[in-house]
């Protein structure tokens, strides 16, 4: 137990972390381009926030939250997602009083007590954006476009955008009744969870992963045919915007999403190569959530994507990730007596921004050169011998084997010019 990470968590070691950093730098670049500023909300919130926003009848709230009482008796939950926190921050800091929309992005770990498998973890990372304060359909299209541009930067192709509208509370009322009537005729075939949710929130049944329930919901009435004229027009406008920027999508009338706060536009982006965990991004509008949390009526739209899945996808697709940086110089001590001087020179190189390293085992010249080779350094800087007494070092090109004697005070310039 002491030597294994808890189930559903994992370590990201330096080699893989380099890929994460590459993905993260693309996220920051993309968000800069589109005008989203970073928000860093806390990793835990009052449980109540998620009950109110994500919804009491969702899988997240019913089965997946890491909830505990802290030493002060507060009910606390490790964040399963960050839309709720972003909305809470928007209200707490009166961001509604400034220019709208407020566009923010976040990046970091989320926690869900999910059944772990490849691409599904109990601690996973999300990149999400939220645009709060407008119902303009171009904003829905922008949000989808941020995700698509990001995948394009990573060289990830073969994605499918699935789009739907789940209307507003007004038009959903009629739909809810129609759905309830339909599902009530099939009570006998629904799973226990769906039965318990049926009367409180029949829409949740549409999101059930049980085969039996899916067979029933396949023929259930669809929300799209119940949209009121305002929601219908909005949905059409979103589609026109997407078409105008050549963002391809398919309409999936069965898409409802697993969180309760959505209104109007909902979407998921799927990379089929990931099988059961193909959903790499999900989002939509949540025009009622800010008011639900006690703020002024404010429309909003956003998405979150699972970065663990994005990483898996680029690894599976063989999309190019720049190689991790290797040292320019590897400093080698010719004898034990030169170790300290090697360290002093190494430190000077680092202070001059030269990626460099040395062997710390106080070992033979041969072993140090082998280590230099393994580090894939471009040059070995040999410290010691007669050169040292003359204030010189020998610099060996590790690819050609070519060697130069360089005065110590010219070493940095020599390496910088060769870089």
55 binds ligand HAM (CB under 6 A): no
Are 165 and 224 contacting, i.e. CB atoms less than 8 angstroms apart? yes
φ, ψ dihedrals at 157, nearest 5° = -120, 175
Interatomic CA distance for residues 275 and 273, integer angstroms:
6
User: Could you tell me the smallest distance in angstroms from the CB atom of residue 414 to ligand HAM?
Assistant: 48
Task: State the CB neighbour count (10 A cutoff) for residue 296.
Answer: 10
Residue among 396, 393, 394 nearest 378 (CA): 396
Report CA Rg, the chain: 28
Which one of residues 279, 311, 346, 377 is an interface residue with ligand HAM (CB under 6 A)? Answer: 279
267 binds ligand HAM (CB under 6 A): no
Task: State the CB neighbour count (10 A cutoff) for residue 292.
Answer: 15
Burial of 321 (0-12, 13-18, 19+ CB in 10 A): middle
My answer on whether omega of the bond before 229 falls inside 30° of 0, hence cis, is no
User: Could you tell me the smallest distance in angstroms from the CB atom of residue 125 to ligand HAM?
Assistant: 8
Site stretch for ligand HAM (CB under 6 A), options 40-48, 112-120, 237-245, 341-349: 112-120
Instruction: Rank residues 161 and 281 by Cβ distance to ligand HAM and give the closer one.
Output: 281
230 binds ligand HAM (CB under 6 A): no
CA distances from 290 to 90, 132, 296, 372 (A): 9, 9, 7, 57
126 binds ligand HAM (CB under 6 A): yes
| Interface mask toward ligand HAM for 283-312; x: CB under 6 A | xx-x---------------xxxxx-xx---
Instruction: Rank residues 126 and 375 by Cβ distance to ligand HAM and give the closer one.
Output: 126
124 binds ligand HAM (CB under 6 A): yes
User: Could you tell me the smallest distance in angstroms from the CB atom of residue 220 to ligand HAM?
Assistant: 21
Instruction: Give residue number: closest CB to ligand HAM.
Output: 306
112 binds ligand HAM (CB under 6 A): yes
Which one of residues 167, 282, 299, 327 is an interface residue with ligand HAM (CB under 6 A)? Answer: 282
Helical packing angle, 411-418 and 339-351, nearest 10°: 60
Side-chain-side CA neighbours of residue 390 (13 Å): 9
Which one of residues 83, 85, 134, 265 is an interface residue with ligand HAM (CB under 6 A)? Answer: 83
Instruction: Rank residues 20 and 182 by Cβ distance to ligand HAM and give the closer one.
Output: 20
Interatomic CA distance for residues 251 and 235, integer angstroms:
11
Site stretch for ligand HAM (CB under 6 A), options 122-130, 340-348, 379-387, 403-411: 122-130
Instruction: Rank residues 295 and 384 by Cβ distance to ligand HAM and give the closer one.
Output: 295
114 binds ligand HAM (CB under 6 A): yes
Helix, strand, or coil here: 276? helix
Residues that bind ligand HAM (CB under 6 A): 81, 83, 112, 114, 120-121, 124, 126, 128, 130, 258-259, 279-284, 286, 302-306, 308-309
């Amino acid at each position: 137990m002491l030597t294994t990470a808890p189930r559903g968590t994992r370590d990201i070691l330096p080699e893989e972390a380099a890929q994460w950093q590459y993905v993260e730098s693309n996220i920051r670049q993309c968000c800069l381009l589109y005008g989203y500023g970073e928000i860093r909300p806390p990793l835990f919130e009052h449980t109540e926030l998620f009950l109110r926003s994500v919804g009491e009848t969702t899988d997240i709230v019913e089965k997946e939250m890491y909830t505990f009482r802290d030493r002060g008796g507060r009910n606390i939950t490790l964040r399963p997602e960050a839309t709720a926190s972003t909305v809470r921050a928007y209200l707490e800091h009166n961001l509604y009083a400034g220019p709208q929309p407020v566009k923010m992005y976040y990046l970091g770990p989320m926690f869900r007590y999910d059944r772990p498998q490849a691409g599904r973890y109990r601690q996973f990372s999300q990149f999400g954006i939220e645009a709060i304060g407008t119902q303009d359909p171009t904003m829905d299209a922008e949000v989808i476009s941020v995700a698509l541009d990001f995948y394009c930067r990573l060289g990830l192709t073969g994605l499918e955008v699935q789009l739907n509208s789940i209307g507003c509370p007004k038009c959903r009322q009629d739909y809810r009744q129609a759905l309830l009537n339909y599902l009530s005729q099939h009570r006998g075939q629904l799973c226990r969870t769906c039965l318990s949710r049926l009367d409180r929130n029949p829409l949740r049944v549409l999101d059930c992963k049980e085969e039996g329930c899916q067979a029933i919901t396949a023929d259930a009435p669809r929300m799209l045919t119940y949209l009121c004229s305002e929601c219908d027009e909005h949905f059409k406008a979103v589609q026109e915007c997407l078409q105008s920027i050549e963002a391809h999508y398919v309409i999936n009338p069965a898409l409802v999403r697993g969180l309760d706060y959505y209104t109007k536009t909902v979407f998921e982006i799927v990379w089929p190569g990931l099988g059961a965990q193909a959903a790499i991004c999900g989002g939509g509008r949540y025009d009622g959530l800010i008011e639900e949390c006690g703020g002024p009526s404010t429309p909003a739209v956003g998405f979150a994507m699972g970065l663990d899945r994005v990483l898996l996808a680029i690894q599976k697709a063989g999309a190019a990730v720049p190689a991790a940086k290797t040292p320019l110089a590897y400093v080698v001590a010719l004898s034990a007596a030169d170790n300290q001087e090697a360290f002093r020179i190494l430190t000077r190189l680092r202070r001059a921004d030269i990626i460099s390293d040395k062997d710390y085992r106080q070992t033979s010249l041969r072993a140090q050169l082998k280590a230099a080779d393994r580090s894939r350094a471009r040059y070995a800087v040999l410290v010691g011998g007669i050169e040292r007494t003359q204030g010189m070092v020998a610099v060996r090109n590790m690819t050609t084997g070519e060697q130069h004697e360089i005065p110590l005070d010219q070493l940095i310039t020599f390496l910088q010019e060769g870089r």
